[in-house]
Structure 1
Amino acid sequence: MRTINKEDGLAPRVPYMNAAADGGRTDNNTLSIVLVFFDVRERSITVAIRRSIEGLLSSLQNELPQPLNLSIIYRDNPPIAQPEHRRDEFHRIMHGIDGSIKIGITEVGLCDPVPPSRYLYAIDCDNHASLLSLHRFRQESTGTEQLLQRLGKGIVKAFGMACGLYHCNDQGCFLTYHMGELDFDTNMYVCKRCRADFVHALQSPG
């Protein structure tokens, strides 16, 4: 996956994408992948995340029997009074959004309920949905370029969670388990095994 330039604008649609309106319904034979940005309006971040997913999907398209459609929608963060209720509320919202596979992106911090408590990079929302939290990425990154590089890898991991992929044992793979921010810096690729797992998951997401 190529380096993400924070100055880049949105790329033109690549061959795997149908000309459907963002967030709209697609043909029945099209696999719909939806990025849901919850109050994330920073253009460099939305571009970096979209480009990272586009690059992965483009590399997988020739191995899939059906076309893929990537769409983006924007939502407000839900009003959540108690941190322990954040997961449940985001789960509810994600499950109500149309799409074969859905990945939410939010600035809201998501705490691990298992002591010692710490903020998580992403969570599995079940039913082919996941949620990426920018909170810890921002805390642990020293500049915009580093933040965007890590988010480009983090969104692939969140996509893998939504597809039901397990943590990878290859420390160079984006799908490995991340104990801390430095683990993202050693990720350089999606390994062959995880690529095959992505293809298998995308062939039968239901």
Structure 2
Amino acid sequence: MQRFEGALIKKRKPLVTLVIYGKINQDLSNHLYESFFKFLQSIDDNLEYTPEINVLQMPNPQIEEHGKEEEVFSRELDKITGKIVVGVTEIGIYDRGISRNIFGFGKAGAGLLSSYRFQESSPKKMKERLGKEIIKVFSLATDVWHCRNENCIVSYHRQIQDLDRNRGVCKECTEKLIKNINQYMED
């Protein structure tokens, strides 16, 4: 950061890209963007760069084999411009290692959130839960792994109801996120 006549001036605005795949409706897309934006805004004072969020709408990629969703989406996310890329899809993501659909995944600057398991929730609960889960997927995309504090959004969620106990990101995870986001935003 640079100082200019006593004021702190942030450097340019690196890109965080939110990719809306498939049939995610506009209301939900807007809510996810707002949740994402508000979270970044809440930690902005501690970031070296103010990230700019770009939103893209894209069709879901062709998935030839059940259980290959993470592999296919990872390849697609790697093609998207941005320092950190987070996608959202309605397609279920199946993890053969735990034999069930998962909420999402993330690592090395890219992540994906699936709304598939949330579709049984009421519209209000679905938005609330997905608004939290997108922050978790973003955390995973920035290499902040599951938290041991079950009240933290970054904790492991086996059931969608587990998100209801989360109120925010704990102090330790926030510090890790700030550190990792700053590293991703460097040239």
Do Structure 1 and Structure 2 share a fold, with TM-score over 0.5? yes
Aligned partners of 2:168 and 2:68: how far apart in 1? 34
After TM superposition, list the pairs within 5 Å mapping 1:62-73 onto structure 2: 62-73=45-56
Letter in 1 for 2:179: H
1:174 alignment counterpart: 153
Cα RMSD for the two superposed structures:
1.4
- Give 5+ residue unaligned stretches, structure 2: 1-10
Aligned partners of 2:27 and 2:109: how far apart in 1? 26
Hey, which of these two has a bigger chunk of strand by percent?
2
After TM superposition, list the pairs within 5 Å mapping 1:114-129 onto structure 2: 114-115=97-98, 117-124=99-106, 126-129=107-110
Matched, 1:130 2:111: yes
Q: Secondary structure at the match of 2:113?
A: strand
Aligned residues: 175
- 1:135 CA displacement: 0.4
After TM superposition, list the pairs within 5 Å mapping 1:33-52 onto structure 2: 33-52=16-35
After TM superposition, list the pairs within 5 Å mapping 1:190-201 onto structure 2: 190-201=169-180
Aligned partners of 1:84 and 1:56: how far apart in 2? 31
Q: Secondary structure at the match of 1:111?
A: strand
- 1:171 CA displacement: 1.2
- 1:175 CA displacement: 0.5
Aligned partners of 1:166 and 1:88: how far apart in 2? 19
Identity across aligned pairs (percent)?
27
- 1:138 CA displacement: 1.1
- Normalising by structure 1, we get a TM-score of 0.81
- Give 5+ residue unaligned stretches, structure 1: 1-27
Aligned partners of 1:174 and 1:42: how far apart in 2? 24
- Normalising by structure 2, we get a TM-score of 0.89
Aligned partners of 1:97 and 1:127: how far apart in 2? 13
